[in-house]
Structure 1
Amino acid sequence: MDIVGWLTDPAHWTGAGSIPFQAGMHLLYSVIALVFAAVIAVPLGIFVGHTGKGDSVIMGSANAVRALPTLGLLILLVMVIAPAFSSNLAFVVPSLVVLVLLAIPPILSGVASGIRAIDRSVIDAARGMGYSTAQIIWRIEVPCALPLTLSGMRGATLQVVSTATVAAYVSLDGLGRFIIDGRAANDYAEMAGGALVLAALAILLELAFAAFGRIAVSPGLTRRVVSQAVPAVEDTATRALSVAGA
């Protein structure tokens, strides 16, 4: 089993079905699923975190989705949805639905937990300054919840990227193609090579999220404030409001 030989073979790096092509398709499916998941989960997370309502129903339902067997759900959705399409969408749509369902819980939990973790004195101070509900949400709660929101997004991304290999079970492209095709041909070098490329992709995305978090999150929210920038006499509510961009 020559894994290094398979990875360094120039034939595997050019043309359709190559490592770059399959990695690109893998990322495409993952990004589309994450965008749809964020569109659903972020508003729900803001609602749950801000109002405190629907916690047991919304969060419970989202977490229950995690218990669903991914591959079994994919096959079921293909059987149900495929007859409605005559193109490759018969397999793309079920795959994306499975990945979206997988990504929603961590994003939803991250947003809601981030908002609920905010000191209530900060919200009271904002109301005392005349902030409307919309201003409190978008200028206080959402920015202050950014660290946990990014943490949820990072968890969702790693789960989706690692699970998107199931798309190969329904004849779609992606890094799972190497694992499925390698298993069919008893080519264990291809299987192991595909798995290593997938692991490398996940690590790169993890590093990218860590770097983005250091740039996007205010130092005040990660306790990395330079002492000269924040006077010692500044109270907690004023500091949090300034960090949020009030």
Structure 2
Amino acid sequence: MTAPPDDCLARNEWICGAYLSTRRQILLDAVVQHLQLTVVAVLLGLVVAVPLAVLARRWGWAAGPVLAVTTVLYTVPSLAMFSLLLPVYGLSAALVVAGLVLYSLTLLVRNVLAGLRAVPEETRQAARGLGYGPVRLLLTVELPLAVPAAMAGLRIATVSAVSLVTVGAIVGFGGLGNLIYAGMNTYFKAQVLTASVLCVVIAVAADLLLLGLQWLITPWTRGSRG
């Protein structure tokens, strides 16, 4: 006789292959939403952070206020942040994205600014001597040389965003966080563990992807090999 199937779902076990096979589409949808929220938030954060860092570099007096404001934003608890943004965005994915963008600014602005400040002054002078104007100097000399520091901030901001997306479950847009919160409310062990592990996998994969991208676009930082 054939043995009855091992029903780990009925026993509510932490590790359950049946959960993966029966909830495949639910997991896929949650992963896609998680990735979408993370990518959009980080890209928008970068779009905002780079001009702020450039302005802070150009006008030194602006660096203090810019860094202070972005740091204060980062200290606001996530629940409070979403509550403050609720009247503006309502219960929507935009609410989660806006919160993540604000959180990313302190990491991105600080690192982009550090990269710009690290560009040697003699390099700037040499470029000016070759006829480089301010815009060309920024785009072809300063920003490329600031990439290593900027990428360090981008990696941290991305991993942080992957984590913070889960908090969006309180408004129904938390990606894998929706499954984690629902599983915790019903003590559905397999769902909580699976969604949590997938969050970790996404964070590690994103960090490795950005590390590889940094290696590709910054060949001058690679150590010489004997």
TM-score under structure 2 normalisation?
0.88
Matching of residues 115-126 of structure 1 within 5 Å: 115-126=116-127
Checking the alignment, whether the CA contact within 8 Å between 2:19 and 2:190 is kept in structure 1 is no
Matching of residues 57-206 of structure 1 within 5 Å: 57-78=65-86, 80-81=87-88, 90-206=91-207
Question: CA 1:225–1:65 in structure 2 vs 1: closer, same or farther (change >3 Å)?
Answer: same
Q: Secondary structure at the match of 1:54?
A: helix
Q: Secondary structure at the match of 2:92?
A: helix
1:12 and 2:49 aligned: no
Q: Secondary structure at the match of 2:132?
A: coil
Question: What residue in structure 2 maps to residue 45 of structure 1?
Answer: 53
Checking the alignment, whether the CA contact within 8 Å between 1:50 and 1:116 is kept in structure 2 is no
Distance 1:7 1:65 in 2: 42
Checking the alignment, whether the CA contact within 8 Å between 1:114 and 1:147 is kept in structure 2 is yes
Distance 1:67 1:111 in 2: 20
How many matched pairs? 215
Question: CA 1:26–1:210 in structure 2 vs 1: closer, same or farther (change >3 Å)?
Answer: same
1:172 is displaced (CA, Å) by 2.2
Code of the residue aligned with 2:55 in structure 1: it is F
Q: Gaps spanning 5+ residues in structure 1: where? A: 228-246
Q: Secondary structure at the match of 1:131?
A: coil
1:129 is displaced (CA, Å) by 2.0
Q: Gaps spanning 5+ residues in structure 2: where? A: 1-11
Distance 1:167 1:201 in 2: 16
1:70 is displaced (CA, Å) by 0.7
Checking the alignment, whether the CA contact within 8 Å between 1:22 and 1:174 is kept in structure 2 is yes
Q: Segments of 4+ in structure 1 off by > 3 A?
A: none
Q: Secondary structure at the match of 2:93?
A: helix
Q: Which piece of structure 1 moves more, 141-150 or 182-191?
A: 182-191
Checking the alignment, whether the CA contact within 8 Å between 1:179 and 1:194 is kept in structure 2 is yes
Code of the residue aligned with 2:75 in structure 1: it is A
The percentage of counterpart residues that share the same residue type is 24
Q: Secondary structure at the match of 1:33?
A: helix
CA RMSD after TM alignment: 1.9
Distance 1:188 1:131 in 2: 61
TM-score under structure 1 normalisation?
0.81
Question: CA 1:33–1:119 in structure 2 vs 1: closer, same or farther (change >3 Å)?
Answer: same
